[in-house]
Amino acid sequence: MKSKNYKVCLKDNVEQFSKQLFYSLFDACKQEEEARQTLENSFLEICAALEIDKARFQWDVFCKKFSGIRSQLDLDAIAFEKNDPAANSLQEIYLAYPGFYAISMYRLSHQLLLQNVPIIPRMMSEYAHGLTGTDIHPGATIGESFFIDHATGIVIGETAVIKDNVKIYQGVTLGGIEVKKSLASTKRHPTIENNVTIYANATILGGTISIGENSIIGANVWITKSIPPGSLVTYRSEINIKPKVSE
């Protein structure tokens, strides 16, 4: 029996396409006609290899969304500068912050998913995941001025909803409370309301779970029930420090 050809070498093509797509949002030289044509050709070639219909139409729709995506990302960058005391300038965020890169790849791949383009959005998100350590499913819904600090180890599931002005730190998981194929069409991941801060290594699980607006979720907490607005949720651990016994 002959093995099916899954064309896994397309991973390289999608990675290069994703990289150039990111550049095209911010660099004037990448917005010139020749560069845009090269980007379009890459997209059409990937679609042809994956047997995706109406590729040119999909590209035209996608291009019309670039301005709106750029505006969203500029708000995200401002949120980074506002919330990270280590940020020295907006330029530093655009050039050096893995969290901003992960959000950029999310917003681009999310748009393609909204257009019902198959496979490519997930390949783009996995490329960003490999680079940044941040796993944001392109199906997640994320509002304006989103800030993720340090990026590493963050997981945001497919049906998660994150509203405006949310801050998330390293190691946070917005996941499902159980993993079953039969739940594929249901909301499995939590909703995070406006102005919520979630500190490092917090885990929030379940599709019916909501974190109320203006809440603070402390580090290392495990949440499987909804939290009312304006809450402070912390995990208390006891650390005992004793004098060292001299030998």
Residue 55 has pLDDT above 90, yes or no: yes
Q: What is the mean pLDDT of residues 108-122?
A: 98
Residue 238 has pLDDT above 80, yes or no: no
3-class state of residue 197 by DSSP: strand
CB neighbourhood size of 56 (10 A): 11
pLDDT for residue 239: 73
Half-sphere exposure of 45 (CA within 13 A, CB side): 15
Percent above pLDDT 90 for the chain: 87
Half-sphere exposure of 241 (CA within 13 A, CB side): 0
Q: What is the mean pLDDT of residues 35-62?
A: 97
8-132 matches 140-235 in fold: no
pLDDT for residue 40: 97
pLDDT for residue 205: 98
CATH code, residues 8-132: 1.10.3130.10
Q: What is the mean pLDDT of residues 97-105?
A: 98
> Buried (b) or exposed (e) across 94-106, using 16+ Cβ within 10 A?
beebbbbbbbbbb
Which residues make beta-bridge pairs with 147? 167
For the chain, the farthest-separated pair of C-alpha atoms sits apart, in whole angstroms, at 77
Q: What is the mean pLDDT of residues 53-80?
A: 98
Residue 80 has pLDDT above 70, yes or no: yes
CA 97 from chain centre, in angstroms, equals: 13
Q: How far apart are CA 141 and CA 157, in angstroms?
A: 10
pLDDT for residue 168: 98
Per the prediction, the chain carries an average pLDDT of 95
> 60 or 245: which carries more pLDDT confidence?
60
Q: What is the mean pLDDT of residues 113-118?
A: 98
Class of domain 140-235: mainly beta
pLDDT tens digits, residue range 161-215?
A: 999 999 999 999 999 987 778 777 899 999 999 999 999 999 999 999 999 999 9
pLDDT tens digits, residue range 116-125?
A: 999 999 999 9
pLDDT band at 160, cuts 50/70/90?
very high
Percent above pLDDT 70 for the chain: 99
Domain boundary assignment for the chain: 8-132, 140-235
